[in-house]
Structure 1
């Protein structure tokens, strides 16, 4: 005989032990009913409750390990202080009101971003899109070779391979010249790559060779034996490079070769396809402040204070020589921001769309708010197009993503899939003819809740033409998903999609 609540055989248990176990299990179930729903999406809370009720021995320890999406209280306090300082230092530099005169809704979006993430929207930015994989890192290395003061670099994944070596070698040359190099990478994201130990040896050697100039740290490190505990799936997913405060790089690419050093990808000829940007103008300082925040969190050193003798950088305003160009605004998000800044930005722009909306993302796992925004836009006769990869590199995410296709197709959303074996990893959205967002954030609940992300909003009709040129190349080789064909997919695929959808909510 098996006890249905715990799965334990109870024939040999004394009565008092059975009563005690039953009381504990019932007590746990009653407790989690009132604890788990607090400050969680209903679907997330329900997924955790179902898991704990059916498999408590597995789900309860898992919830205790990864059930909270909050960074430490110390990091949250620091983030709040930095936001206040950015708001103070950039008072009078924000163009939200001027943007309202041109487009009331976009001005309101810029004000939303300002209130949530602290950074102003400003003109004077030059944004160059870079779609070539190795070209992006070649330009980055060339810019680093011209560095005179400092280089700040943050990636989710950094590897030791021929492509990354170009940039790492440029960092070493910069340190040898006396340039200050600060390098951050996400601990879990990078340690999973082949050859990670070789990378660490190289960084340690550089730090030993140039101790006053070359510094590196792991972001959100997992070090249980050093009493540094944190939720293992809260990750720093940002991609930021800043050189001398004059030039920045950001986008979707990690610092790794296009196969991601995976033997399976090499065998099947799989490459990651990216879209990134090189930026000059005041948005560079915004990205630099985001980096400084992350560096400060890991080291207790504020690089802005080192350079300016001031708690935060204040040279964010464009000079007269760089007026014009693109309006741009930096939008940081993640567990340090309680209001899901990136999701609010995406939803706000989607509800503003009147003509067209194009989303390019490798992972589309929307929460209810984003799903409603997308379908509502289509019902408003907005031309809504979603471009995803045909076969993602993550099994569960691929099937979770597919579970939403039916609802999108029924609402009239057009779905295109970039052909396998490549992974379309570009992350951007184009709204009507004048606005785009580009950055590290996927359109999934992980990026909204668990990952530290950074997004750049660009308002510039001429720049939108460049995004359209990139999209045209993607669409040229992509295929559209037919609503009838998708509705007739196999029962097994539907089952996998639906089960994976449940796991996506366990956050």
Structure 2
């Protein structure tokens, strides 16, 4: 709201106050123009400036509370300390396994991610990438039933319902037999679902250690920024087996009878891993646990190398020692893999930098699956440029996203993508394509919790897995083929026929998506 546009004398104020308000109005504008763009993307700066200049009463408080893309204080210090300890613990480990012939271009990106997150590429055995929602939960429950020492769970949305019963029961059995069970779930992400309160009571009754992630409980003196989320999904068992991917611990209709009746269900993937890579995922969990509880699991960063060596499979051990290279090529289960954590605790935006660099690495084919595709300028430029370079780019998205604003913000990018030659496949409504992954030239791939949107790159704590060799990339291609077979392709001609109202909504929601 431009205060100078009003005749303040009509408010019964003397001329002096009128002058003061006009000066204050212009002072706010001058300060905002100099402060808002600092270390911020141009699109984000423009959106914040528009809000502050036109609606200062709303824009200024929001910017002061939510405007920073980074965290400070205790959580920032925890992340920095974790990074230092990981650097110390992995000092003797190469950027990638010595027996793996990583292409030079890809190797530079592995080094990039290690420099940003302190985690090297190691080996990991893939025991299956599953996209059967209920089967994923059953398999995690089976693994929990095999736990002997501890189970660590970090899930964005977690509730007690008939679908998750098998997993919760397994956690209770583990705790009853003396296994240490720790559970983290996001407060704002989980609290709106029906099983939230009963879940907390149930965990307490079972003697399971649990904590909310990023709790917003002002009456208890626990206040966090309400726009931040811990979006990670991972389970670690005894430090030897892990699961990670895109799936939450809730029924596939997300607790709504209307979704179940209409056939609206979420489709996800999870990968099961053993080998040295489990230690990297365990370090991510330990950092989150310390951030929320103050309990130092010691991350055992100083033992990181020893823990990996102790827990390697026979094949993994041969990889690290540099022997039996032919075995590496023939064994389709052994992958070179790197955990890439990201979030507001990192000022270097690890996921965004890696993802953009991988897109520029593409020479033949780029396949992207993202339920929320709202890229920043650098990601959009990379994808459009790849298409203009002759790379075949396929984008798989839901025909109708589960969030109104995201659905329209995402759609605002379709015209530029289609003009560049990107092929857009719409996963049929009412189902929600919630998988997050992409592959580059069939050479390497990324999967995990991170969407290709500005929220995931800046405001969410995420965890991704970069994979090379082995069978992870091949398996992701097979899953994408299944998505393509049931999707329909959006054509430039069809998109050109959309209504003026749809165009306006898309543009308006695109602007709001940049407010970070």
Match of 1:425 among 423, 428, 434: 434
How far residue 16 of structure 1 moved from its aligned partner, in angstroms, is 2.6
Structure 2, unpaired ranges of 5+: 317-327, 329-333
How far residue 130 of structure 1 moved from its aligned partner, in angstroms, is 0.6
**2:451 paired residue number:** 442
**2:205 paired residue number:** 205
> In the TM superposition, what are the counterparts of 1:185-204 in structure 2 within 5 Å?
185-204=185-204
Q: Which whole-Å CA distance do the structure 1 matches of 2:17 and 2:297 have between them?
A: 59
Asked if the contact 1:356–1:383 (Cα under 8 Å) also holds between the matched residues in 2, the reply is: yes
**1:284 paired residue number:** 278
How far residue 246 of structure 1 moved from its aligned partner, in angstroms, is 0.8
Higher mean displacement: 269-278 or 443-452: 269-278
Q: Provide the secondary structure at the position in 1 that maps to 2:115.
A: helix
Asked if the contact 2:90–2:304 (Cα under 8 Å) also holds between the matched residues in 1, the reply is: no
Q: Which whole-Å CA distance do the structure 1 matches of 2:500 and 2:376 have between them?
A: 24
Structure 1, unpaired ranges of 5+: none
**1:316 paired residue number:** 308
Match of 2:235 among 241, 262, 278: 241
How far residue 75 of structure 1 moved from its aligned partner, in angstroms, is 1.6
Higher mean displacement: 51-60 or 195-204: 195-204
Alignment of 1:225 onto 2:234: no
Alignment of 1:298 onto 2:307: no
RMSD: 2.0
Asked if the contact 1:3–1:9 (Cα under 8 Å) also holds between the matched residues in 2, the reply is: no
Asked if the contact 2:89–2:301 (Cα under 8 Å) also holds between the matched residues in 1, the reply is: no
Instruction: After superposition, give the CA deviation of every residue in 1:73-114 in whole Å (9 maximum; x if it has no partner).
Output: 222122112112112212232343848854111111111111
How far residue 262 of structure 1 moved from its aligned partner, in angstroms, is 2.3
**1:271 paired residue number:** 265
Q: Provide the secondary structure at the position in 2 that maps to 1:162.
A: coil
Asked if the contact 2:427–2:433 (Cα under 8 Å) also holds between the matched residues in 1, the reply is: yes
Q: Which whole-Å CA distance do the structure 2 matches of 1:235 and 1:93 have between them?
A: 32
Match of 1:488 among 490, 493, 497: 497
Higher mean displacement: 374-383 or 195-204: 195-204
Runs of 4+ in structure 1 off by over 6 angstroms are 6-9
TM-score normalised by structure 2 residue count: 0.92
How far residue 10 of structure 1 moved from its aligned partner, in angstroms, is 2.8
Instruction: Give the direction of change, closer, same or farther, for the CA distance of 1:28–1:309 in structure 2 (3 Å limit).
Output: closer
Match of 2:355 among 346, 368, 371: 346
How far residue 116 of structure 1 moved from its aligned partner, in angstroms, is 0.6
Q: Provide the secondary structure at the position in 2 that maps to 1:303.
A: coil
How far residue 12 of structure 1 moved from its aligned partner, in angstroms, is 2.6
How far residue 196 of structure 1 moved from its aligned partner, in angstroms, is 1.9
Q: Provide the secondary structure at the position in 2 that maps to 1:184.
A: strand
Q: Provide the secondary structure at the position in 1 that maps to 2:10.
A: coil
Q: Which whole-Å CA distance do the structure 2 matches of 1:97 and 1:470 have between them?
A: 28
Instruction: Give the direction of change, closer, same or farther, for the CA distance of 1:179–1:461 in structure 2 (3 Å limit).
Output: closer
Asked if the contact 1:328–1:456 (Cα under 8 Å) also holds between the matched residues in 2, the reply is: yes
Alignment of 1:459 onto 2:458: no
**2:56 paired residue number:** 56
How far residue 309 of structure 1 moved from its aligned partner, in angstroms, is 10
Instruction: After superposition, give the CA deviation of every residue in 1:198-255 in whole Å (9 maximum; x if it has no partner).
Output: 222222322xxx3xxx200001111222333321111100001000011101100000
Q: Provide the secondary structure at the position in 2 that maps to 1:393.
A: coil
Q: Which whole-Å CA distance do the structure 2 matches of 1:351 and 1:127 have between them?
A: 30
**1:382 paired residue number:** 391
Asked if the contact 1:100–1:106 (Cα under 8 Å) also holds between the matched residues in 2, the reply is: no
Aligned residues: 498
How far residue 62 of structure 1 moved from its aligned partner, in angstroms, is 1.6
Instruction: Give the direction of change, closer, same or farther, for the CA distance of 1:431–1:201 in structure 2 (3 Å limit).
Output: same
Q: Provide the secondary structure at the position in 1 that maps to 2:471.
A: helix
Q: Which whole-Å CA distance do the structure 2 matches of 1:459 and 1:138 have between them?
A: 28
Q: Which whole-Å CA distance do the structure 1 matches of 2:456 and 2:291 have between them?
A: 20
Instruction: Give the direction of change, closer, same or farther, for the CA distance of 1:434–1:60 in structure 2 (3 Å limit).
Output: same
Asked if the contact 1:273–1:426 (Cα under 8 Å) also holds between the matched residues in 2, the reply is: yes
Asked if the contact 1:100–1:108 (Cα under 8 Å) also holds between the matched residues in 2, the reply is: no
Q: Which whole-Å CA distance do the structure 2 matches of 1:273 and 1:381 have between them?
A: 31
